[in-house]
Structure 1
Amino acid sequence: MTEHAEPALELISFCIGEQEFCIDVKTVREIRGWTPATPIPHAPGFLKGVINLRGAIMPVIDLRNRLGLGVTIPETRHVIVVVECHDRLAGILVDAVSETFTITRDHLQPAPDMGADELRFVQAILSVDTRLITYLRMDDVFPPQVSQAA
């Protein structure tokens, strides 16, 4: 009897404050330094604005704000991770990118069920060495109307 091993996940981690988060590396198109975004009138607070990415207008989400962790005051050290979500490109503003790593699915622990709406962003929690890393569900971080802003 042969066992079918599930494929490993390749993830990229980044920091917001003291917390570490990760997403599937397959969704990442590029990592770029902070570029000031042009604000959009009446946009949600988590939408920093839009930037021009080689001729394409792309929304930039303040991930700290989107996750309810405060507001990012962008500086040159901040990074925009360009991801593809809902068949569109969008940027997430983070403090810094940490690393890429590979894990097996048995490292994924479900998020605690606390009835909080914000947990819809959390796909799983990973225990890697002595760190806890929150694996984000990008489809919920980028609501369809934001991905259509561009």
Structure 2
Amino acid sequence: MTEQIELKRATDPRIVKMIVFAIGVQEYCIPILSVREIRGFEKTTTLPFAPPYVCGAINLRGIILTVIDLAIYLNVPPQPDNPRRVAVIVESKDGVVCGLLVDRVIDMADIDLKDVQAVSEEGSCLAGLVLVDDRMIGILRLDTVVGQLVGDTVSE
């Protein structure tokens, strides 16, 4: 019986596997299929005249990536002394690869899209909110975030 439930969960298109991470006290998630890897945060090379949310650039096996501090972008006090900060390397649907600096990765969750409560703002970086184990988690629109953050710096 349990195998049938797991098989249904794996094949149900409304269930999306998400990686859950924290920025300050708030939790957010993005689809796991958008994540290339998770790396410990390393020193970045400063990019002159970059917006305040751009930490800088890193060399990822010969590829130069922009790293975005999501805390600054989302207007949350950053935790620079947090040893659990990591860079989540993501790829948008447009093929843009960048790093998202988060305070810590918490876990993975299966999110049922029918349980997502939409947010009212048009063009918001949040697709909605969902309750997972009595925790309110914001679902980031990765393509919107990457497009606004990295797309602006790449196109200039």
Short-chain TM bin: 0.7 to 0.9
Candidates 110, 134, 145, aligned match of 2:118? 110
Give 1:32 deviation, angstroms: 0.5
* 1:80-134 C-alpha deviation (Å, 9 max, x unpaired): 00000231210000010011111221111111x3x5x8x7110010111210000
What code does the residue aligned with 2:57 have? V
For residue 99 of structure 2, give the secondary structure of its aligned residue in structure 1. strand
What code does the residue aligned with 1:57 have? I
Q: Which residue of 2 aligns with 1:131?
A: 135
Residue 12 (structure 2) pairs with residue 19 (structure 1): no
Q: Which residue of 2 aligns with 1:87?
A: 95
Candidates 126, 133, 140, aligned match of 1:122? 126
What code does the residue aligned with 1:48 have? C
Q: Is the 8 A contact 2:21 2:107 kept in 1?
A: yes
Q: Is the 8 A contact 1:65 1:72 kept in 2?
A: no
What code does the residue aligned with 1:105 have? L
Q: Is the 8 A contact 1:47 1:62 kept in 2?
A: yes
Identity of aligned residues (%): 36
Q: Is the 8 A contact 1:23 1:137 kept in 2?
A: yes
Q: How many equivalent pairs are there? A: 140
Q: Which runs of 5+ in 1 are unaligned?
A: none
Give 1:139 deviation, angstroms: 1.5
Candidates 36, 53, 56, aligned match of 1:49? 56
Q: Is the 8 A contact 2:29 2:140 kept in 1?
A: yes
Give 1:26 deviation, angstroms: 0.8
Which is helix-richer, 1 or 2?
2
In structure 2, relative to structure 1, the CA distance for the partners of 1:74 and 1:91 (3 Å cut) is farther
What code does the residue aligned with 1:59 have? T
Residue 109 (structure 2) pairs with residue 101 (structure 1): yes
Moved over 6 A (4+): none
- Root-mean-square deviation over aligned CA pairs: 1.9
Q: Which runs of 5+ in 2 are unaligned?
A: 1-11
